[in-house]
Amino acid sequence: MAKPKRLYQVWKGNNKFFFGGRLIFGPDARSLIVTLLLILIPVVIFCTLVARNLLHEIPAYNAGYAILVVTIVFTIYVLFLLLLTSARDPGIVLRSSRPPEDEFGYESSASVEAGGRLSQSAQLPRTREVFVNGLPVRVKYCETCMVYRPPRCSHCSVCDNCVERFDHHCPWVGQCIGKRNYRSFFLFVSSSALLCIFVFSMSALYMKFLVDEHGTVWKAMKESPASVVLMVYSFVLLWFVGGLTGFHLYLIGSNQTTYENFRHRVDSRMNVYDRGCTNNFLEVFCTKTEPSRHNFRANVNDDTAEPSKGSTYEAHKRNSDEGRRAKVEEDLEIGNDLLKVSQRRDSEEAGDIRSRGRDTLPQKLSDADFGLGLEPQTSPLRYDDYSSSLDRRNERMRV
């Protein structure tokens, strides 16, 4: 009898799994090596060439030892946040093994197939209407995962998964940023900014001691070129992680995601998710992280490892391939644009983003969040009812 496979072994996304499915990374997990080197190399140089010399410069109350201990502990904390962000499920939505055929509609197609026969393509309603905070919001159908996405969910073309409260795909951590790892991502970015400030300050302090000892800045720079390099490196890196921290503080305060802000330019006055600045921060930092919808180590049956290949499924898959390819570049552009946003001053970020929103005409919420809004809709339903029914349907397909 064949040994049953586990879910991570037949996973349809592009994720990479380690330690028997206990850790899940994105397909670009190798970029973590670059991120680790960008953190560890300057910290090692600082500890060996700067902090060690401060042990003799500040002998009182063992302050020099405190600087060295703080650097090591804070670096371990930053690396822990990086692993917590990269190696966990960001909030992947359960897939369906086949389209909901009971909701298919059929319409004539003007295209002529080889052989001269008119084709008839299966069409699902592109959107459904659910209620969020008492207001109607349209959710789109995902042609890859074959489910109606929950509100604020989007399909990442890099990982090939639908992710709840999708923010962006971050190439620096090699993972999608979503509902379950956004908090750790923000803490990682903000803690990295604080680490840059600390290294810059301590390196500048050591340079001051050298200037007092040798008399000139030039002699001090010749005595400790590592301090100069660390100061320049920390200053440049601070523009990136510091600007990114300020940008995400604005997003948290207005209850937006990077995806919504870059692609849809949500007007804060029309944001149904905005609960006020204080409650928005409490929602991100003081709520319990929901458990993953997936048990990647669970056994799966052979009949659930691959979706059904009926005629309806094949027709639906052909219609979805083009849309999947078109979305890849769009998702990657969001991650690349974050570098530009992070280089703005914190004081200018909020004004720039608001002015960008005023440059465009106001849009309806449904238009801003879910495209043009011209697709056919089904009857409205509450999001809680929709989510629970979706979970029940997918649980029946799993062991």
Distance CA 80, CA 51 (A): 22
| 98 DSSP 8-state letter | S
Q: Which two tokens stand for residue 279?
A: 């409650």
Distance CA 355, CA 164 (A): 28
Q: Which two tokens stand for residue 247?
A: 């940008």
Q: 10 Å Cβ neighbour count for 334?
A: 20
Burial readout 177-203 (b: 16 or more C-beta within 10 A, e: otherwise)? bbbbbbbbbbbbbbbbbbbbebbbebb
Spatial contact of 198 and 372, defined as CB atoms under 8 Å apart = no
Q: Which helix (H) or strand (E) holds 86?
A: helix 63-86
Q: Which of 170, 176, 196, 286 is catalytic?
A: 170
Each as own residue / partner, the long-range contacts of residues 381-384 (CB below 8 Å, 24 or more positions apart, any chain) are: 381/128, 381/129, 381/130, 381/131, 382/130, 382/131, 383/130, 383/131, 383/132, 383/150, 383/151
Q: Which residues have CB under 8 Å from 233's CB, separation 6+?
A: 42
Sign (positive/negative) of CA torsion 198, 204, 208, 209? positive
Q: 10 Å Cβ neighbour count for 129?
A: 15
176 carries an active-site annotation: no
Active site positions, annotated: 170
